[in-house]
Amino acid sequence: MHEQREHLLEELRKAEQALTLLKELEPHLTQSKGKELEGHVRALQQLARSLPDAHMVRLVIESALEPSNVGTVSRARSALEGEISTLQGTLRYGAT
């Protein structure tokens, strides 16, 4: 049970990290700040590579970065918010 909780906490941490990076990336897409945009994209790519190929957070990050437009990033952000809510609920109520 303790291992499952630790795993869920790690999943939550990664999802929250991805969400933060996407939120930081979004305004840069409309402002065309090249260097700042590159840093955010690089951080997201690094986070995605740290996850298994079929991991939901990785798939969301990769889909957000494909065409690099605000609509895609916004949808990815919403998907991560849903995943975070699910993980928080699972941790709160102890369901596995």
Dihedral sign of CA atoms 53, 71, 74, 28 in order: positive
CA-to-CA distance for 93 and 49, rounded, in angstroms?
30
Task: Show the domain range for 73.
Answer: 2-93
Q: How far is CA 14 from the centre of its chain?
A: 7
Structural domains in the chain (count): 1
Range with lowest mean pLDDT among 7-16, 51-60, 86-95:
86-95
List, for residues 42-82, the tens digit of each pLDDT value.
Answer: 899 999 999 999 999 999 888 888 765 556 888 888 999 99
Q: What pLDDT score does 94 carry?
A: 78
Q: Exposed e or buried b for every residue in 55-86, given b needs 16+ CB within 10 A?
A: ebbbebbbebbeeeeeeebeebbebbeebbee
**Nearest Cα to Cα of residue 64 among 43, 90, 85, 36:** 43
